[in-house]
């Protein structure tokens, strides 16, 4: 396993995965650029994926579907926001109904993948963010368990001082 | 701008919230509901006051969006709205496990590229 670090930030709803592979950058890139390779790792093992459209260029679209063990199909898409070959991929990743209409009930993530050459290895950094950050921030602001407990003990102190 | 059911704007929310939390019983109910769901009758058993009084406290917390109440048979179950933050954390945890699995498979596919099944002298694809 070559995941070297995972960092989660629940206030910013951001996650960074740092990985290192003992392979040249071109091979690591191939796993994104070749739809037959991409479909072998993107979905869970029990939900085999089939990539339908694959235009990994700035402004391009990727679409795929996964089939559950019960035979139910889940359709997903990427909006390819920017691509710099062998260096960077920026994409929006979400779900859709069977007709390809975006499913807004499920979270859309914004993911940036950067590739860097190390001596004899490749570092691949994946940074994902949930764009509905304002909504999440608001929830966190209003409700964080510790925050609320702290606020309540402050209220207690104020009331006790009355 | 978020406006609640009674049409009050956000700025009044702080008042409602502070009023709701200014009572020790209500603060206690929120903390209990944070840990797990409780029925109103279960909450009523915990305090030296009438069922109706506890019900009134719950209603004030509900108006302040601190808890929600739902029917379960003859019971009314009180849940802290704070669960939404837990959902956010759970979402991130699930997301982490999705990426861990992906990277595991990524490694498998990558290692197959390193050791192609066909002999090195074989024709290029």
CB atoms within 10 A of CB A36: 10
Q: Give the per-residue pLDDT at B87.
A: 52
pTM above 0.95, yes or no: no
Q: Which of B30, B96, B113 sits opposite A15 (nearest CB)?
A: B96
Alpha carbon distance, N-terminus to C-terminus of chain B: 58
Does B19 lie at the interface with A, CB-CB under 8 angstroms? no
Chain A 79-138, residues with CB within 8 Å of chain B CB atoms: 107, 109, 126, 128, 130, 136
Instruction: Kindly indicate the confidence band of residue A151, based on its pLDDT and cuts at 50, 70 and 90.
Output: very low
Is the pLDDT reported for residue A142 higher than 80? no
**Chain A residues with CB-CB distance to B91 below 8 A:** 13, 107, 130
Structure ipTM = 0.72
Cβ pair B82:A152 closer than 8 A? no
Q: Give the per-residue pLDDT at B15.
A: 62
Q: What is the pLDDT of residues A25-70, one digit of tens each?
A: 999 999 999 999 999 999 888 888 999 999 999 999 999 999 988 8
Alpha-carbon span B84 to A142, nearest angstrom: 10
Nearest to A79 by CA among A49, A107, A50, A109: A109
Instruction: Kindly indicate the confidence band of residue A144, based on its pLDDT and cuts at 50, 70 and 90.
Output: very low
CB atoms within 10 A of CB A58: 12
Q: Give the per-residue pLDDT at A146.
A: 45
Alpha-carbon span B20 to A140, nearest angstrom: 19
Average the pLDDT over B116-125 and give the result: 47
Q: Give the nearest chain A residue to B108 (CA atoms).
A: A41
> In A85-154, which ranges are E strands?
88-96, 109-118, 121-129
| Secondary element (H or E) of residue A16 | strand A14-21
Question: Locate tokens 């001596």: which residue?
Answer: A119
**Chain B residues with CB-CB distance to A139 below 8 A:** 84-85, 88
Q: What is the pLDDT of residues B44-69, one digit of tens each?
A: 999 999 999 999 999 998 887 778 89
Q: Which of A37, A78, A94, A145 to mutate to test the interface with B (most CBs of B within 10 A)?
A: A145
**Chain B residues with CB-CB distance to A8 below 8 A:** 92-93, 96
Q: Give the per-residue pLDDT at A109.
A: 80
Cβ–Cβ under 8 Å, residues A93 and A111: yes
Q: Give the per-residue pLDDT at B13.
A: 53
Average the pLDDT over B70-99 and give the result: 73
């Amino acid at each position: 396993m070559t995941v070297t670090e995972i960092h989660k930030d629940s206030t910013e709803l951001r996650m960074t995965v740092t990985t290192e592979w003992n392979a040249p950058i071109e091979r690591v890139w191939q796993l994104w650029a070749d739809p037959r390779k991409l479909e072998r790792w993107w979905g869970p093992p029990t939900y085999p994926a089939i990539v339908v459209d694959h235009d990994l260029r700035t402004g391009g679209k990727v679409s795929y579907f996964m089939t559950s063990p019960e035979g139910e199909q889940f359709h997903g898409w990427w909006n390819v926001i920017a691509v710099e070959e062998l260096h960077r991929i920026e994409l929006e990743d979400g779900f859709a109904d069977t007709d390809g209409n975006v499913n807004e009930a499920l979270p859309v993530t914004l993911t940036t993948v950067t590739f860097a050459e190390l001596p004899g290895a490749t570092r691949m950094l994946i940074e994902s963010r949930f764009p509905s950050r304002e909504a999440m921030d608001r929830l966190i602001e209003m409700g964080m368990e510790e925050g609320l407990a702290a606020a309540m003990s402050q209220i207690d102190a104020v009331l006790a001082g009355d | 701008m978020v406006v609640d059911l009674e049409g009050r704007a956000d700025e009044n929310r702080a008042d409602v919230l502070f009023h709701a939390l200014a009572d020790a019983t209500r603060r206690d109910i929120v903390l209990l509901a944070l840990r797990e769901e409780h029925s109103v009758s279960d909450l009523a058993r915990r305090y030296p006051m009438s069922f109706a009084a506890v019900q009134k406290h719950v209603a004030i917390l509900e108006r302040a969006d601190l808890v929600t109440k739902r029917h379960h048979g003859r019971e009314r179950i009180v849940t802290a709205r704070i669960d939404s933050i837990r959902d956010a954390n759970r979402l991130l945890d699930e997301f982490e496990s999705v990426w861990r699995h992906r990277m595991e498979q990524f490694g498998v596919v990558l290692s197959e590229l390193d050791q192609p099944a066909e002999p090195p002298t074989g024709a290029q694809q």
